[in-house]
Amino acid sequence: MTARHLLPALRHAALLSAGFVVLLPFFWMIATSLKPPAEIFLSEIRWWPETLHVRENYAAALEKAPLGRYLLNGLIVTVSIFVLQVMVALPAAYALAKLRFPGRGMLFVLVLFGILIPPQAIAVPLFLLFHQLGLLDSYAALVLPFTISVFGIFLMRQFFMTVPDDLVDAARMDGISEFGIVWTVMLPTAIPAVTAFGIFSVVSHWNDYFWPLIAVNSETLFTPPLGVAAFRNEEAGTDYGPLMAAATIVIAPLVIAFLLAQRRFIEGIALTGMK
Amino acid sequence: MSGISLRSIGKRFGETPVLRGVSLEIRAGEFVSLLGPSGCGKSTLLRIVAGLDSQDEGEVLIGGRDVSEVRPSARDLAMVFQSYALYPHLTVEANMMTPLRMRDLGAFERLPLLGALAPGRAAKLAAMRARVREVAETLRIEPLLARKPGQLSGGQRQRVALGRAMVRKPVAFLMDEPLSNLDAALRVHMRTELADLHRQIGATFLYVTHDQVEAMTMSSRIAVMLEGSIVQVGAPAEIYDDPRDVRVAEFIGSPKINLIDAVTDGAGQPRIDGAGRGGQALDCAFAARPGAALRLGVRPEHLRLADPALAPLVGRLRHREELGAETLCHVEVQGGAAPLVARVSPAAARGLRINAPVGLVFDLSDIRAFDAAGLRIEAVSSPARAAAHV
Ligand SMILES: Nc1ncnc2c1ncn2[C@@H]1O[C@H](COP(=O)(O)OP(=O)(O)OP(=O)(O)O)[C@@H](O)[C@H]1O
Ligand SMILES: [Mg+2]
């Protein structure tokens, strides 16, 4: 084999092994969710079960925990967060990108600082605030802390900077109000950026474990990650088959959504990479 | 249709004054071009008229009414932008409908689904569609109505932008270099179309451009703007033949007007430094002090080639541009700063070799004299149509 062939081969080998490392836990989760208990605790590595235990594991998962409820909660929470984030971020980004007013530069610097604050750092004050307001253990507690996304404001502002000023002025000449411009002119031109932001927002809040763990107690409000964790602690003990089945069910919506929107997803990431 | 009056408009960005007391009267139905080099403040002035920017001083009157406190859309003007600024996500028809929707439909009627419940909305929409079709017909863009702006050529987009401006029947059109993104051939074509359109609808046009050919060919009057002030306003021929300022003379005309340094003698007659015929004074007089420095402007087409022994200006041929119908001769005159350009017939320039000695003559009545500050100085006497060497 010549060097010309060797290099691409090495490159692919490296990529394949990295992919293998990433995918292995997922594969192991799915394989385990199909195994009977006896096969799970074998000392040898068995990639695929000899006897399938699909029906038992998945039935146990769905029966022992209200997984449907968790998924619905996840949907309600992520969609509400995203819609509210857009309702806040778009007008804010429009003002930062297209309106001239004193203090605009300072405000934008504050937005940039906001991005630097990790959510864990403000979790305790937030918890106390929600306690004072009597909002703990509710959907509001799960949604409200994320409605102002500084990252979203930043991302949309960068995108709006690339929209020509003439377009905004043309809309003003046509008699569209400033809020009207945000929703009927800027939003449609910013669909790629909004999609990219939506993907990041939904994925990160669907998978968020930290804040829901602090904010809610009632099982009826559990989001999918909380549900899976609770499932392990209380119901299953060391019963890994149903546990992995539950984990698979919880991850499935994201995976399916990703496969359906694969092209958009990659476009979106490419877009944020550019800006 | 209304006239527009600008009364000593001033505007500064930070410390930099961009407009310095601009006054201009645009009569109803007139086509006025605002002509000036890049950065002189044309767009700023247009945006102030439109209400997109506010002036620091002065007032804008539209149809006699002060509109300083009136929102852009309520001024009932239409603007065509250099970049066309069409809504990229809407079809051509929806683009052209937008100004009508905003003006004729109430907030409730514009709602996406609920709006359909409003009584009388269907009739209004039908009227708007009819108006859009009518304008599309005038501009010959009916086949494009269902397309999005991204699927149009530059010229087509330009027409759609015009259409969007026309549907409302505004009192005046404001255009900011609408042709500058088109290729040369299309620009020539659209010039004719715009002039036609102006004749056809008879509306007031305020047209911004830095292209003197556009201004010369389309306008009823041209306002020449330099460094934030309007230096001269007049019909195209007047601006060309009778510039009041040396900067106007230099800006209008291609190739540029020739400027020759001279000094007046006791009788107010200009003497050209170091020129032919022993520095003899020209046989014409200007209203200037004796000994004052003058700049004599002569357009290239007014210079003719002549025998060096007889001509008031002599030099050497440096360069020759054959343009087919005419030839431009660049003549380096002793002591002159830049070579003088003469626009002559190809026959007259034939046989002249580079570096050959050349004489230049001109009619005394074609001289435009300017003082050291650049202001025009009137001739007090010049023999009618007499060549300088006669
Ligand atoms: N928002 C602004 N802030 C600061 N300076 C500005 C602003 N807008 C315009 N200027 C300045 O004002 C001057 C006039 O600008 P303007 O856009 O009116 O020029 P113009 O005559 O339209 O030029 P062009 O032919 O290049 O379009 C320029 O020097 C420009 O730099
Ligand atoms: Mg401009």
Q: What is the pLDDT of residue A49?
A: 79
pLDDT of B381 strictly over 80: no
Is A175 an 8 Å CB contact of chain B? yes
Query: What is the complex's ipTM, to 2 decimals?
Result: 0.83
Going from the Cα of B19 to the center of ligand 1, the distance in angstroms, rounded, reads 10
pLDDT of A57 strictly over 60: yes
Taking the C-alpha atoms of residue B257 and residue B212, their distance in angstroms, rounded to an integer, is: 14
Is there a contact between B82 and A166 if contact means CB atoms under 8 Å apart? yes
CA-closest candidate to residue B131, choices B99, B109, B85, B161: B99
Q: What is the pLDDT of residue A275?
A: 31
Is there a contact between A175 and B81 if contact means CB atoms under 8 Å apart? no
Query: Could you tell me the end-to-end alpha-carbon distance of chain B, in angstroms, rounded to an integer?
Result: 54
Taking the C-alpha atoms of residue B99 and residue B6, their distance in angstroms, rounded to an integer, is: 26
Name which CATH class applies to B77-169.
alpha beta
At the topology level, CATH places domain B1-50+59-66+172-253 in: Rossmann fold (3.40.50)
Query: What torsion, rounded to 10 degrees, do the Cα atoms B205, B208, B209, B213 define?
Result: 20
Q: Which CATH number fits domain A63-272: 3.90.850.10, 3.40.50.300, 1.10.3720.10, 3.30.70.240?
A: 1.10.3720.10
Q: What is the pLDDT of residue B384?
A: 58
All residues at 6 or more sequence positions from B152 whose CB lies less than 8 Å from its CB, including other chains = B92, B144, B160
pLDDT digits (tens, 9 = 90+) for B24-69: 999 999 999 999 999 999 999 999 999 999 999 999 999 989 998 8
Give me A10's structure tokens.
């090495």
Is B79 an 8 Å CB contact of chain A? yes
Q: Which residue of A has its CA nearest to B103?
A: A175
CA-closest candidate to residue B190, choices B152, B162, B212, B151: B162
Q: Which of B22, B34, B35, B42 to mutate to test the pocket of ligand 1 (most atoms within 8 A of CB)?
A: B42
Taking the C-alpha atoms of residue B302 and residue B253, their distance in angstroms, rounded to an integer, is: 12
Same fold, B1-50+59-66+172-253 and B77-169: yes
The residue extents of the domains of chain A are 63-272
Taking the C-alpha atoms of residue B16 and residue B29, their distance in angstroms, rounded to an integer, is: 34
Q: Which of B43, B176, B207 to mutate to test the pocket of ligand 1 (most atoms within 8 A of CB)?
A: B43
Token match 């079809």: residue?
A: B91
User: Are the CB atoms for A211 and A123 separated by under 8 Å?
Assistant: yes
Q: Of the given ranges (A71-85, B107-121, B143-157), which has the lowest mean pLDDT?
A: B107-121
Q: Are strands B368-370 and B293-298 parallel, antiparallel or unpaired?
A: antiparallel
User: Are the CB atoms for B194 and B166 separated by under 8 Å?
Assistant: no
* Residues of B (24-63) whose Cβ lies below 8 Å from A: 47, 50, 52
Length of chain B: 390
Q: Mind telling me how many Å the CA of B23 is from chain A's nearest CA?
A: 23
Q: Which residue of B has its CA nearest to A166?
A: B85
Task: Give the pLDDT band (50/70/90) at residue A274.
Answer: very low
Going from the Cα of B161 to the center of ligand 1, the distance in angstroms, rounded, reads 23
**Residue having the nearest C-alpha atom to atom 24 of ligand 1:** B38
Q: Mind telling me how many Å the CA of A184 is from chain B's nearest CA?
A: 10
Give me A272's structure tokens.
């944020």
Is there a contact between B99 and A164 if contact means CB atoms under 8 Å apart? no
Going from the Cα of B222 to the center of ligand 2, the distance in angstroms, rounded, reads 16
pLDDT of A6 strictly over 60: yes
- Any atom of ligand 1 within 6 Å of the Cβ of B259: no
Residue A247 identity: A
User: Are the CB atoms for A173 and B174 separated by under 8 Å?
Assistant: no
Q: What is the mean pLDDT of residues A177-190?
A: 93
DSSP secondary structure letter of residue A239: -
pLDDT of B235 strictly over 80: yes
Taking the C-alpha atoms of residue B57 and residue B75, their distance in angstroms, rounded to an integer, is: 19
Minimum-distance CB partner of B98 among A166, A174, A189: A174
Q: What is the mean pLDDT of residues B126-143?
A: 92
Q: What is the mean pLDDT of residues A154-162?
A: 94
Q: For all residues of chain A together, what is the average pLDDT?
A: 86
- Any atom of ligand 1 within 6 Å of the Cβ of B44: yes
Residues in chain B within 8 Å Cβ distance of A171: 87
Taking the C-alpha atoms of residue B322 and residue B97, their distance in angstroms, rounded to an integer, is: 51
Give me A126's structure tokens.
């937030």
Mutate to test the interface with A, among B89, B101, B177 (most CBs of A within 10 A): B89
Task: Give the pLDDT band (50/70/90) at residue B390.
Answer: very low
Secondary structure, 3-state, chain B: CCCEEEEEEEEEECCEEEEEEEEEEECCCCEEEEECCCCCCHHHHHHHHHCCCCCCEEEEEECCEECCCCCCHHHCEEEECCCCCCCCCCCHHHHHHHHHHHHHCCCCCCCCCHHHHCCCHHHHHHHHHHHHHHHHHHHCCHHHCCCCHHHCCHHHHHHHHHHHHHCCCCCEEEEECCCCCCCHHHHHHHHHHHHHHHHHHCCEEEEEECCHHHHHHHCCEEEEEECCEEEEEECHHHHHHCCCEHHHHHHCCCCCCEEEEEEECCCCCEEECCCHHHHCECCCEECCCCCCEEEEEECHHHCEEECCCCCCEEEEEEEEEECCCCEEEEEEECCCCCCEEEEECHHHHCCCCCCCEEEEECEHHHCEEECCCCEEECEEECCCCCECCC
Residue A32 identity: T
Residues in chain A within 8 Å Cβ distance of B82: 166
Please give the distance of CA B291 from its chain centroid, rounded to a whole number. 36
Going from the Cα of B199 to the center of ligand 2, the distance in angstroms, rounded, reads 25
Coil, helix or strand at residue A76: helix
Q: Which residue of B has its CA nearest to A165?
A: B85
Backbone angles phi, psi at B73, to 5 degrees: -70, -30
- Any atom of ligand 1 within 6 Å of the Cβ of B253: no
Question: In chain A, where does DSSP find H-type helix?
Answer: 3-33, 37-40, 54-64, 67-98, 104-116, 123-133, 139-143, 150-161, 165-173, 178-181, 187-189, 191-206, 210-215, 224-230, 240-260, 262-274
Q: Which residue of A has its CA nearest to B176?
A: A166
Mutate to test the interface with A, among B101, B102, B158 (most CBs of A within 10 A): B102
Backbone angles phi, psi at B106, to 5 degrees: -75, 170
Q: Mind telling me how many Å the CA of A241 is from chain B's nearest CA?
A: 49
Name which CATH class applies to B255-381.
mainly beta
pLDDT of B94 strictly over 90: yes
Q: Are strands B304-306 and B357-361 parallel, antiparallel or unpaired?
A: antiparallel
Is the four-CA dihedral A15, A16, A17, A21 of positive or negative sign? positive
Is there a contact between A189 and B89 if contact means CB atoms under 8 Å apart? yes
- Any atom of ligand 1 within 6 Å of the Cβ of B254: no
All residues at 6 or more sequence positions from B24 whose CB lies less than 8 Å from its CB, including other chains = B4, B5, B6, B32, B223, B230, B233
Q: Are strands B172-176 and B204-209 parallel, antiparallel or unpaired?
A: parallel
Burial (CB count within 10 angstroms: exposed 0-12, middle 13-18, buried 19+), residue A64: middle
Q: For all residues of chain B together, what is the average pLDDT?
A: 89
Q: Which of B9, B12, B15, B18 to mutate to test the pocket of ligand 1 (most atoms within 8 A of CB)?
A: B18
Q: Of the given ranges (B94-103, B133-142, B180-189, B367-376), which has the lowest mean pLDDT?
A: B180-189
**Ligand 1 atom nearest residue B47's Cα:** 18
- Ligand nearest to the CA of residue B12, numbered in listed order: 1
Going from the Cα of B14 to the center of ligand 1, the distance in angstroms, rounded, reads 12
pLDDT digits (tens, 9 = 90+) for A35-53: 887 787 777 777 887 778 8
Taking the C-alpha atoms of residue A137 and residue A154, their distance in angstroms, rounded to an integer, is: 30
Residues in chain B within 8 Å Cβ distance of A191: 89
Q: Of the given ranges (A156-160, B40-44, B357-361), which has the lowest mean pLDDT?
A: B357-361
Q: What is the mean pLDDT of residues A67-93?
A: 94
pLDDT digits (tens, 9 = 90+) for B295-349: 999 999 999 998 888 788 888 999 999 998 999 999 998 777 789 999 999 988 8
Residue predicted with more confidence, B96 or B113: B96
* Residues of B (188-247) whose Cβ lies below 8 Å from A: none
Q: Cis (ω within 30 of 0) for the bond into B339?
A: no
Integer CA distances (angstroms), B95 to B157, B158, B165, in order: 11, 13, 10
Is there a contact between B79 and A173 if contact means CB atoms under 8 Å apart? yes
The distance between the two most distant Cα atoms of chain A, rounded to a whole number of Å, is 75
Q: What is the pLDDT of residue A64?
A: 78
- Any atom of ligand 1 within 6 Å of the Cβ of B210: yes
